[in-house]
Amino acid sequence: MKTRKRRIAAITATATAAGDMVTKRQRAFGLFLSAVLLCLGAMMPVHAQCTAKNEAFQSGEHVMYDLYFNWKFIWKKVGLASLSTNTATYRSRPAYRFDLLSVGSKKTDFFFKMRDTLTCYVSDKLEPLYFRKAAEEGKRYTVDEAWFSYKDGMSSVKQRRIWHNPVREPQEMEYSDSRCIFDMLSILAQARSYDPKDYKVGEKILFPMATGRRVEEQTLIYRGKQEIEANNDTVYRCLVFSFVEYKKGKEQEVITFFVSDDKNHLPIRLDMYLNFGSAKAYLKSVKDNRYPMTSVVTK
């Protein structure tokens, strides 16, 4: 009986540890999604307007990323993400559609199924129009949506979260601002077209973002330039930004972004500092980018 109890205890401990690890991977994956988008948003000027000219991307662009999580001093690959851009029509208006899909690895699926899909539409002048995030994480499944409108110099957003599992009452909110309000994906549409060459090391960039349930002010700090190797055996010259939070008046770094120092402004690597460990995301591949990757370092 003692032997059997020991075996049961060992199995239970192993299952618990595996579950904890997957939960941490899930959180890291969710943070990765936000990180990619915040990273692209780092080039946003302080006073943003809702319309702009697309100077950075073209229809058909497709980017892939590998995500790694640090587990007891060992880096493990836990999934991948893809970001695609295409021309579209939204309510009879010419538009661009962006899709960001995250998928856990087969090993992760064994313990915890994870499928997150983000979609947004912006006008051909890059105005935010619509945003949707469907998150299937284990047994939990939620859908966040945001609808944007403009009147008398004001930007407004109506947001809603629907709980499919567990079933709850929908959460809704509305918000208006004299500044443009962006969602996680539409912000990259404009941010990629701006040139950050005038930024000074240590300069802070602030902007509002609709998350599906609320509108939050984001803070990023420009750190300078650095050469970074991606998962395609290529070294890139990158702009470095830090996403920070303020707790009890102290600045705490959450994510470090390394963005290609060229007209594409693509995230090359992201370092995420989590309460339970750390995670990294690496560029794996990119195709149909509008400009040559002139940030590639040749040696």
Cα separation of 183 and 145, whole Å? 10
Of residues 184 and 223, more confidently modeled = 223
Whether 90 shows a pLDDT value over 50: the answer reads yes
* Sole residue written with tokens 């972004």: 257
Query: Which residues, at least 6 apart from 140, have a Cβ–Cβ distance to it below 8 Å?
Result: 165, 166
Query: pTM here?
Result: 0.77
Give tens-digit pLDDT for 108-133. Answer: 655 555 567 899 999 999 999 999 99
Give me the DSSP letters along 21-66: HHHHHHHHHHHHHHHHHHHHHTT--SS--S-----S--TT-EEEEE
At 101, is the pLDDT very low, low, confident or very high (cuts 50, 70, 90)?
confident
Q: Is 194 exposed, middle or buried (0-12, 13-18, 19+ CB in 10 A)?
A: middle
Structure token pair of residue 154:
């004001």
CA–CA distances in Å: residue 262 to residues 144, 239, 275, 295 = 33, 9, 33, 6
Could you report the per-residue pLDDT of 136-166, keeping only the tens digit for each?
766 778 899 999 999 998 999 999 999 887 7
Mean pLDDT (the chain) is 80
What digits encode the pLDDT tens for the residues 250-280?
888 888 889 899 999 888 998 887 666 678 8
Q: Phi, psi (5° rounding) for residue 63?
A: -125, 140
pLDDT greater than 80 at residue 27: no
* Residue at token pair 């991977």: 25
Say if CB 181 and CB 1 are below 8 A apart. Answer: no
| Nearest one of 159, 151, 128, 156 to 50, comparing CA atoms | 128
pLDDT for 179 beyond 90: no
pLDDT at 37 over 70: no
Distance CA 196, CA 222 (A): 9
